[in-house]
Amino acid sequence: MRQRQFFFVVLIIMTLAIITFMSYNLHSTTKRHSPALANDLRRLAVDLSETQRSLVHLPLQFYKVGESIQLVKHLIKSVDGQWVQEDKVSNSPPSKKYVTKREVCPEKYMGKDSAYGFPFYRKGFEGENCTDFVPIDKLVTMVATSPKELSQEELQKLFEGIATYYPRVPVIFMLNKTFNFERLKKPSLNLSFTAFDDLMHGATWSKILKMVTTPYALFAPDIMYFTDDVNLERLVRVLSENRDTIIAGGSHKNQRGEWDNSCRQVQFRNWTAYFADGYYHSFNDCIACDVLLGPFMTKTKQLQDLGIDQKLHFGAFHDLFWRLKLKHPEKVVVSCPDVMFDTYEPEVPDEKYDALVKKWDVKKWVESNGRVRWYGCRRGTHNSKSSCGIPGKGFTVPPCDLENLADIVKFIMRECENTGIHCQLNAGTLLGAVKFKKILPWERDADVYFISDNYTAIQKLRPRFEAAGYTFKDTKGTECCTNGRRTSGIFLIYGNGWKVDFYGRPTLEAEILVANGQQPTKVMLAGQWVTATRNPGLVARNRYGPNMYHHVEHWSIVGNTHGDALYKSGVWNKCPKPGHTGCLNQFQTDGDRQFGDHFMT
C-alpha cells in the first residue's frame, strides 16, 4: 500500500510539472500546433481520469489528481476555446465518438427554491419524459429473501408492495424448503419461487446469480416492506452512467426504525478488519463505499465474471466487497441513500463469520460501532488457553495473541500490587509501553522484575496463578548478596502460548521512590497502569540507543544471540507472504499511529 501511494504521489508531481511547463509554453505552441496540442491534452485528461478512478479510496491523492484534471481542462479551453466536460473526454478520435445507449430517462431537479416539495419533500428530482429508454422489466431482476420472523400476512403485503410499483419486473423469491408457499395468494407480479436449504449460503446466491438474464440484478436479502422509497430507475441510472461503478445500493431502515446509509469503509491491517462510517468521495448524490450493509443493485455480467464464493456458508457478500476492495480497486461501489430499503437486521453471532475470516486470515474484526469480534484465539473470553500461533519473521503478532500476553503481564502486576510486592516492567515490555502503551506488535516474550527479597512471597502466589489458568514454574532461587541484599531468583510464567520471564533484582527504583515518600512511576500497558522504572523514557533511550523510536523486530529474529546486544532499527525483514495484512513491511519503520487499534484516516 505504501509503495502504491508513493507511486501515485510521484505521478501527481510529475504530471503537475508537465502541466506547468506546458502552460508556460502554451502561447507560442498554440500558434503552430493548437489542434494537435488539444488532442494531446485530451488524452492526458483521459489518462488522469483513469488514474483518479483507481484512487477513490485514497482521498488526498484522489483530489490532487482531480485538481490536475481541472487544470488540463482549462488548458484545453485556452487552446481551442472548447470547455471539456468529463463525459466528453475520450481516447477515441472525434469521428468515432462513443455514445452510450440510454437505459432509463434522465432526471431533473425541479425545485426553484426550498419550498418545492414542502412539507414532506417526497418530490424534488423527477424523471424527464423520453422515448428512447428500455422498460425496467427488461433491465432488472429482483432477487429477494424475507426474514423468518415475517408472518404470512406480512409476506403477502411485501409482494403487494412490489406489485404496486414494479408489477412486471422479474422477481426471484428465495424461500426455505420448509416454507409452504402454496398458501400465498398469487399477486399480479412476475414472481417465481425458488427453495433452498440455506438461504445465506454462498452456493445459493451463486446459483441464483446464474439464473439472472437481465443486465442488472437487485439483491435484497431480509427485505420486510416494499414502497416507493425503492427507486430502481435511480440505481440503474447511476450504474449505466458510470462505467466503473459495479454496485449501487441504498440506505436501509431496520425493524426498530433505525436508519443507516449502509456505507462502510474497511481497512485490513495487522490481521484485523477495521470498519468505519463515512465516505471520501461522492458523485450523482451517491457516496463511495467499500462495503454495503443493505440491498444493492449490480451489473449482472460483471458480477457473474467475479463470482460469489460458493464455499462460504455465511458472509458471501462481505467476501464480495472485500475482493473488490483488495483485488479490484478500480471498480466502484456506492450507496445512494435517497433510495431506501426496509430490511430486517438480525443479530449475527461471531461464529457465523468463521469461514469468511479463515479465508482472509483475519484474527480480529472491529465494527464501526466499536464491537470487536475475536477469531483464532480469545474468542471474547478473558483467558482462552488457545493461541493464534505466533508467526515467523516479517510478520506482526496477531492482536489476539498480543492481548493474551498483555493479560499475563497485567495479572502479574496486579498480584504484585495487591500483595505489596514491588514489581516493574523491564526490557522490551517496558519499551512497548513507552512507544505504544501496549505490547510491541512483534514481541516474542515479556519481562518483569521483582525484588529478590520478596522471592518467598511470590512463591506463595502460585495457587492464584494456577487458578487463573497460568503455569507457574520456579526455576532458580535467590543468592547472597549484593550490597547486603539477596539477588537473583527466577520464575517463568506460561499461558496461551507465551512465556514471561519474572526475574529477581536486589533493588528496584519503585522501591526507592516509595522509600522517599514518592509515588512509583506507572506506565499505561494495554489499558492498565502498571509500575515501571523511575523515568521510563530515559531508560528506554539509554538502553536501546539512537533512533529507539524507530522500529525493528525482536532480537531473536534479527539474528542476535541475546537481548542486551545493540541492533540497528528502521529495518523490517522481508515478508514471506507479500500483501498479507500481517506483513511488517507494509508499515513504516517509524511512528505508532499505524499500529493503533483504530481505522486510519
Between 51 and 581, residue with greater pLDDT: 581
Confidence check: pLDDT of 527 > 90: yes
Position 378 scores a pLDDT of 64
Mutual angle of helices 427-436 and 536-544, in 10-degree steps: 120
Strand-pairing partners, residue 482, are 485
Q: Mark whether 352 and 407 lie in a shared domain.
A: no
Kindly report, residue by residue over 216-248, the tens digit of the pLDDT.
999 999 999 999 999 999 999 999 999 899 999
Q: Mark whether 38 and 147 lie in a shared domain.
A: no
Tell me what the mean pLDDT of segment 461-488 comes to: 91
The amino acid sitting at 307 is G
pLDDT band at 16 (very low <50, low <70, confident <90, very high): low
Mutual angle of helices 26-53 and 2-24, in 10-degree steps: 160
Position 33 scores a pLDDT of 57
Count of structural domains, the chain = 3
Kindly report, residue by residue over 444-458, the tens digit of the pLDDT.
999 999 999 999 999
- Interatomic CA distance for residues 19 and 77, integer angstroms: 14
pLDDT band at 66 (very low <50, low <70, confident <90, very high): confident
CA dihedral over 35, 38, 40, 46, signed as positive or negative: negative
Q: Mark whether 177 and 325 lie in a shared domain.
A: yes
Kindly report, residue by residue over 368-413, the tens digit of the pLDDT.
999 999 987 765 444 444 455 678 899 999 998 999 999 999 999 9
Between 80-89, 139-148, 497-506, 575-584, the lowest mean confidence (pLDDT) is in 80-89
Domain-embedded: residue 148:
yes
Q: What is the mean pLDDT of the chain?
A: 86
Domain-embedded: residue 237:
yes
Taking alpha carbons only, the member of 550, 542, 586 closest to residue 571 is 550
Q: Mark whether 337 and 417 lie in a shared domain.
A: no
Position 18 scores a pLDDT of 58
- Interatomic CA distance for residues 354 and 373, integer angstroms: 10
Burial (CB count within 10 angstroms: exposed 0-12, middle 13-18, buried 19+), residue 98: exposed
Between 123-137, 262-276, 439-453, the lowest mean confidence (pLDDT) is in 123-137
pLDDT band at 75 (very low <50, low <70, confident <90, very high): confident
Taking the model in full, what pTM does it have?
Answer: 0.81
Domain-embedded: residue 15:
no
Burial (CB count within 10 angstroms: exposed 0-12, middle 13-18, buried 19+), residue 96: exposed
Position 436 scores a pLDDT of 96
Q: Mark whether 414 and 307 lie in a shared domain.
A: no
Position 15 scores a pLDDT of 57
Task: Give the end of a domain, one of 365, 385, 420.
Answer: 365
State CA 55 to chain mean position distance: 16
Select, from the ranges 91-100, 342-351, 563-572, the one with the highest average predicted confidence (pLDDT): 342-351
Tell me what the mean pLDDT of segment 237-261 comes to: 96
Tell me what the mean pLDDT of segment 24-41 comes to: 61
Position 324 scores a pLDDT of 94
Q: What are phi and psi of 164, to 5 degrees?
A: -65, -40
Domain-embedded: residue 389:
no
Print the domain residue range for 59.
30-83
Domain-embedded: residue 91:
no
Rg (CA), the chain: 31
- Interatomic CA distance for residues 555 and 567, integer angstroms: 8
Quote the percentage of the chain above a pLDDT of 90: 62
Q: Mark whether 321 and 420 lie in a shared domain.
A: no
Position 486 scores a pLDDT of 87
Q: Mark whether 420 and 351 lie in a shared domain.
A: no
Tell me what the mean pLDDT of segment 311-326 comes to: 95
Q: Which residues contact 589 (CB under 8 A, 6 or more apart)?
A: 550, 551, 552, 569, 570, 571, 572
DSSP string, 447-461: EEEEEGGGHHHHHTT
Tell me what the mean pLDDT of segment 261-265 comes to: 96
Q: Mark whether 203 and 298 lie in a shared domain.
A: yes
Q: Are 594 and 600 in contact (CB under 8 A)?
A: yes
Q: Mark whether 328 and 403 lie in a shared domain.
A: no
Q: What are phi and psi of 442, to 5 degrees?
A: -120, 25
Between 71 and 145, residue with greater pLDDT: 145
Confidence check: pLDDT of 546 > 90: yes
Position 427 scores a pLDDT of 95
Tell me what the mean pLDDT of segment 179-206 comes to: 82
Q: Check which CATH number belongs to the domain holding 144 and give it.
A: 3.90.550.10
C-alpha cell at 526: 494495554
Domain-embedded: residue 18:
no
Taking alpha carbons only, the member of 372, 417, 435, 272 closest to residue 409 is 417
Domain-embedded: residue 114:
no
Position 68 scores a pLDDT of 78
Tell me what the mean pLDDT of segment 579-583 comes to: 91
Position 178 scores a pLDDT of 67
Q: Mark whether 488 and 350 lie in a shared domain.
A: no
Tell me what the mean pLDDT of segment 37-66 comes to: 68
Q: Check which CATH number belongs to the domain holding 511 and give it.
A: 3.30.460
- Interatomic CA distance for residues 209 and 204, integer angstroms: 9
Confidence check: pLDDT of 162 > 80: yes
Taking alpha carbons only, the member of 212, 201, 169, 207 closest to residue 188 is 169
Domain-embedded: residue 527:
yes
pLDDT band at 99 (very low <50, low <70, confident <90, very high): very low
Between 109-118, 303-312, 507-516, the lowest mean confidence (pLDDT) is in 109-118
Tell me what the mean pLDDT of segment 303-316 comes to: 96
Quote the percentage of the chain above a pLDDT of 70: 84
Q: Mark whether 233 and 173 lie in a shared domain.
A: yes
- Interatomic CA distance for residues 352 and 388, integer angstroms: 19
Q: Mark whether 320 and 413 lie in a shared domain.
A: no
C-alpha cell at 298: 449490480
Q: Are 348 and 293 in contact (CB under 8 A)?
A: no
